Structure 1
């Protein structure tokens, strides 16, 4: 029986899991849940049901790919903890796939004549800031993941020379600022998916791009700030 890659995507409000065959990359199944703040209680249930519905068990899984970020701090922590726990228990490799790269791959793979665009996924980072990157149709990097403050001049150099396709939870904030630019096009309702994470994860598995199960941490892109509750300040 072919060995499988289990993929987890928890960087956004959508909790998503997918199962691919490692020998040929075929998608065997996927499952997702669109409930806010549900990842910690439902991720393991989604994994169990996906394996059960595809007539497999955890013993058939030869690797776990996890969405690496950027994205929701809590969501990324939940996904990383689940992936590391599975890899440790099963003694199998851990793979990390960029959330932005997988979003770009997801859109490019479904776009007619994909070569006519560069792909710019944007994830909301509150106010007028986003996490963004730019990729070619084959998911190679043009602009590395970076936090961007959205203004009319944002990405002006890229938009002057290329047609860019914008999508993801942060793209709608940018659309009014470049509405008159004919090189800017926008897609709505594009969410991160474990299917794209798994497709890129299969390739990474064969390149043996494995992470340390003990020391892996998600790519948050920005430092996480915490505050002390007022009732504990000064104690």
Structure 2
């Protein structure tokens, strides 16, 4: 049995799970519209460990959502994961945030576009096939009438994530299917992190940094 603690804080959803060989044993998550990660993350970690009836020493690895996403959210999640890895002597696994979001869509064919809301008409998005293999790299892009046109002309495209809300009135192609009110979760991280563990696809704990995609720009107080 390989027990992995999965931490997802890239968006407003604060989510933590424990999985055994990719199967969820316990999960705690909260998306109340606010970034409550600083208050909720560590209690959630304690709770899933307790529910799974494991000790911290029995965890084989710590997995964290690597981004893109909220700068502050990613920092909180990665800091917690690295701290646990250092304290417990466990390996660190980084899971692509958009890929785990894409895994919420279960279809036999077509393409999946997970997208996270950025400012104004901008989103963080990538393109995956029905097997969750990456077809197009992750980009920060401004949505317009021509966005994803080359993929929509080929067949169904499933757009998922909080970035879809701003796209519905702009992307009007008949092949566009929108799945909103969905966020990345530690539930979908479980299989991804287990696959990476089996391949020994781990990070250097000392030097690992989240994938921000864009530089953080502080907004001065008014």
Q: TM-score range by the shorter chain?
A: over 0.9
Q: How does 1:55-134 map to 2 (within 5 A)?
A: 55-107=53-105, 111=106, 114-134=107-127
Task: Give the direction of change, closer, same or farther, for the CA distance of 1:3–1:156 in structure 2 (3 Å limit).
Answer: closer
Number of residue pairs matched by the alignment: 221
What is the root-mean-square deviation of aligned Cα atoms in Å? 1.3
* TM superposition shift of 1:82: 0.4
Task: Give the direction of change, closer, same or farther, for the CA distance of 1:89–1:136 in structure 2 (3 Å limit).
Answer: same
Q: In the alignment, which residue of structure 2 is the partner of 1:45?
A: 43
Runs of 4+ in structure 1 over 6 Å off: none
Kindly indicate whether residue 164 of structure 2 is the aligned counterpart of residue 171 of structure 1. Answer: yes
Kindly indicate whether residue 213 of structure 2 is the aligned counterpart of residue 221 of structure 1. Answer: yes
Kindly indicate whether residue 39 of structure 2 is the aligned counterpart of residue 31 of structure 1. Answer: no
Kindly indicate whether residue 16 of structure 2 is the aligned counterpart of residue 17 of structure 1. Answer: yes
SS at match of 2:19: strand
* TM superposition shift of 1:20: 0.8
| Unaligned stretches of 5+ residues in structure 2 | none
Write the distance in 2 (CA, Å) between the matches of 1:228 and 1:167: 32
Q: In the alignment, which residue of structure 2 is the partner of 1:8?
A: 7
Task: Give the direction of change, closer, same or farther, for the CA distance of 1:183–1:38 in structure 2 (3 Å limit).
Answer: same
* TM superposition shift of 1:144: 0.7
Kindly indicate whether residue 159 of structure 2 is the aligned counterpart of residue 161 of structure 1. Answer: no
Q: Deviations over 1:151-186 (max 9, x none)?
A: 00111111111310001011111111122x111111
**Would you say the 8 A contact 2:63–2:81 is kept in 1?**
yes
Q: Deviations over 1:33-74 (max 9, x none)?
A: 223121012101001011112211111111011001011100
Q: How does 1:136-215 map to 2 (within 5 A)?
A: 136-179=129-172, 181-215=173-207
Whose helix proportion is higher, 1 or 2? 1
| Unaligned stretches of 5+ residues in structure 1 | 231-235
**Bigger mean CA offset, 33-42 vs 69-78:** 33-42
**Would you say the 8 A contact 2:93–2:197 is kept in 1?**
yes
